[in-house]
Chains A and B, each alone.
Chain A
């Protein structure tokens, strides 16, 4: 059976020589994301801000958004937004959190149902979150993100070294910030599902980083005298085909989800796709170069020139 050589058998790309370029790209990504987050903010869904979301199928083949908007604005429920959702007769209605305690959400929901009587063929989805649960979910989201990053760092520290743990944490933070920046840029609704996307990206990106780190550690043992930058390059190159292949298969599976998985999880899938591309980049362009800042092995005795040692076969 024939095989397509996807990646050259033994790539010898000088990744570390381009590390300044990678730093610049990372900085642009991170600063851009932070800037977007601060200027545009996230389009929080009902999970985090509280409020009510309705997905309805209208009785008409094409929803009269204008008319529906008019009807709902008359109820004086604040800034109600409507959008077509996946099909011309399906409308997503987003209502802000109502003041006046936990009951207020359900009261508003009842009002909307009465106002829409006759227009709705089917209530496809109703989500209503009061202020109490909203703030609990926000807290849980923050705690989960922080804990998973710290937990991952601790594991890498334990299995490798503090330097590796710190570099992994920087790469993780890089990816998490980038995905949040993506959600700020696209204004895709940020809800529990998209938070899951952020955490998945963290999990995937560290997976990728650990594979390269593992190789770095091994090559450091094998080539005791080779300059560290060369060793790092070797490690990246040795795992490059794996990195590209795995990212490709994961992306293939995700494209299936993105195009066929339905409207509800599209925002979630989009975040993971972006995150996986950025996570793959950050393993090579951020995590490994950061390792070069630290002393990865005990200082060599002075006067001895680094020389290449042939690997034991």
Chain B
């Protein structure tokens, strides 16, 4: 009988030292950790939202609404562009994600084509005499969608940051989804309010003289509901031009304030926005412009004078909370497309703390029971298995911490389960050794043969369980993935501990025995 090869002994020691090194911060208090020198790892285990408390939301970006809005903007811009050159347009409309229109004078078709090409280089233009069908290419739209997702992630980050919540994780998932994880949110209602509004602010002109009750809404305009009530007590309906004078993108700051005892939002335009607004108001004194938030008219004041100061205020029937939220939205920017919540999971800090406590107690009780059981059944060998088991636990915690993998409640269950299963490898080995001794082999030969024979069984039986764990990881979400991670890790580490650590202990013990010693396991 031989001792373990030196490289294996060195491997065990390195693994043990590293595992303790990485696992140690988990049992230290924050202040102790802060006092440690920099080269010692400070990271504690990364708790999942179900333990730490927080909110997980899977959001879907409404690309259809985005497309619709783009087409509406495009038709409004085409109308303005062609009118500037006095090219008359009829039958303007959106069909099959394309803008269609015809020219009143067929001989201006070439002029119109050149104008469109210059203004919108990315446009696909289909021209048939005086008829035009225009739209954006698939490649261009994909590029835009990617930009939109990036923008949404930035806006959400800013909005959540403004509320004082720390460290949200926001990731794109698949084609049109965004995964939002915010720790420390107890009531997801606040979060929903933050992500639920696109907060698209625009300044546009009101079209007067069109009675929404009787007249058809002209091309390039929309009928929008107002926050102001009409004489009948119903919200007023206003006909608003689709052309945007200035939008929320041109704001540099917005703050809640008071004006004559009424909560208002005061804002500043950037240079471009200020200039545009100044020109538009100067040329349209006496007309009404509307301040529109998410397709609702907040107010529609008459322009008394050119407004060129570069700042302004929005007054609606706000409470101070509403004004504060609106100001926050305006500072953080608008979402380029609306979001829908597909899935939400929020765990409050109370349940999270309870779960951590329950998980800890359950693990300690489970491990203690297994340790006592093994010692009772196998005596000295049982204690060796117990040492391997504790080392196994340290390795799992160490690796989880080093990788900063997320530990969830099912993950704790996975650890507890592997604690039970981990001794399996030891049991297999001990039973084999016991058998070999019964078959008449010497202690040393029996130990060698026992390990050799047990190893294939150990590997086969663990690989099959690993297959199930890997598939769980692949198809599971959030907390379940945590379970798959700890289960796989636990299986791998228990194989390591049984094949190397237990073996080392058994071999060292066997070498110290005199000839003819009986096995402590009968």
- Contact of A122 with B by CB under 8 A: yes
Is B468 within 8 A of A202, CB to CB? yes
Whether A141 sits at the interface, judged by CB under 8 Å, is yes
Q: Which of A102, A147, A155, A246 contacts B464 (CB 8 A)?
A: A155
Residues of B within 8 A of A9 (CB): 434, 438, 522
Is B424 an interface residue when CB atoms closer than 8 A count as contact?
Answer: yes
Q: Is A57's CB under 8 angstroms from B465's CB?
A: no
A253 in contact with B471 (CB, 8 Å): no
Does A274 sit within 8 A of B, measured CB to CB?
Answer: no
- A301 CA / B449 CA spacing, docked (Å): 33
Q: Is A13 an interface residue (CB 8 A)?
A: no
Evaluate contact between A206 and B464: CB separation under 8 angstroms: yes
Per-position contact with B for A176-203: 1 when CB-CB < 8 Å, else 0? 0000000000000000110110011011
Q: List the one stretch of B30-38, B136-144, B279-287, B336-344 in contact with chain A.
A: B336-344
A255 to B358, CA, bound (A): 13
Closest chain-B Cβ to A288's Cβ sits at a distance in Å of: 15
A151 within 8 A of B: yes
Residues of chain B contacted by A193 (CB below 8 angstroms): 410, 479-480
Most B-side CB within 10 Å, residue of A4, A103, A144: A144
A137 to B340, CA, bound (A): 18
Kindly identify which residue among A3, A140, A251, A256 contacts B377, using a CB–CB cutoff of 8 Å.
A3
- A129 on the B face (CB < 8 A): yes
Closest to B464 in A: A206
**Contact residues, B350-377 vs A (CB, 8 A):** 350-351, 354-355, 358-359, 361-367, 369-370, 373-374, 376-377
> Which residue of B188, B343, B346, B367 is within 8 Å of A129 (Cβ)?
B343
In whole angstroms, what is the CA distance A272 to B475 when docked?
19
Q: A6-B377, A252-B366, A253-B369 are in contact. Are A262 and B343 (CB under 8 A)?
A: no
Query: Are the CB atoms of A253 and B367 closer together than 8 Å?
Result: yes
Which one of A200, A204, A311, A313 has the highest number of Cβ atoms from chain B below 10 Å of its Cβ?
A200
Min CB–CB distance B378 → chain A (angstroms): 7
Tell me if A124 and B350 are in contact (CB < 8 A). Answer: yes
Task: Decide: B471 and A133 in contact? CB cutoff 8 A.
Answer: no
Taking a contact as CB atoms under 8 Å apart, the answer to whether B428 and A141 are in contact is no
Task: Judge whether A133 and B58 touch: CB under 8 Å.
Answer: yes
A210 contact from B196, B460, B472, B484, Cβ within 8 A? B460
Asked if A156 CB lies within 8 Å of chain B CBs, one says: yes
A200-B431 in contact (CB<8A)? no
Q: How far is the CB of B190 from chain A (nearest CB, A)?
A: 11
Interface assignment of A43: CB less than 8 Å from any CB of chain B: no
The answer to whether A144 touches B475 (Cβ under 8 A) is yes
**CB 8 Å contact bits of A216-255 with B (1 = contact, 0 = none):** 0010000000000000000000110110011011111111
Question: In chain A between 132 and 165, which residues have their CB closer than 8 angstroms to a CB of chain B?
Answer: 132-133, 137, 140-141, 143-144, 147-148, 151-152, 155-156, 159
Counting CB contacts under 8 A, is B192 at the interface?
yes
> Are B421 and A204 in contact (CB-based, < 8 A)?
yes
Min CB gap B323→A, angstroms: 22
Q: How far is the CB of A158 from chain B (nearest CB, A)?
A: 10
Closest to B351 in A: A124
A125 near B: Cβ within 8 Å? yes
Cα-based distance from A143 to B474 in the complex (angstroms): 10
Q: Given A5-B522, A193-B479, A242-B428, is A253 in contact with B419 using a C-beta cutoff of 8 Å?
A: yes
Q: Are B344 and A249 in contact (CB under 8 A)?
A: no
Shortest CB-to-CB span from B506 to chain A, Å, is 15
Question: Do A133 and B342 touch across chains, with their CB atoms under 8 A apart?
Answer: yes
Check: A35 CB closer than 8 A to any chain B CB: no
Q: Which 3 A-B pairs have the closest CB atoms?
A: A256-B366, A253-B420, A262-B358
7 pairs, A vs B, C-beta closer than 8 Å: A103-B341, A156-B464, A196-B476, A207-B465, A252-B370, A253-B417, A260-B362
Q: Which residues of B contact A (CB under 8 A)?
A: 50, 58, 60, 186-189, 192, 196, 340-348, 350-351, 354-355, 358-359, 361-367, 369-370, 373-374, 376-380, 409-410, 412-413, 416-417, 419-421, 423-424, 427-428, 431, 434-435, 438-441, 453, 456-457, 460-469, 471-472, 474-477, 479-480, 483-484, 487, 520-522
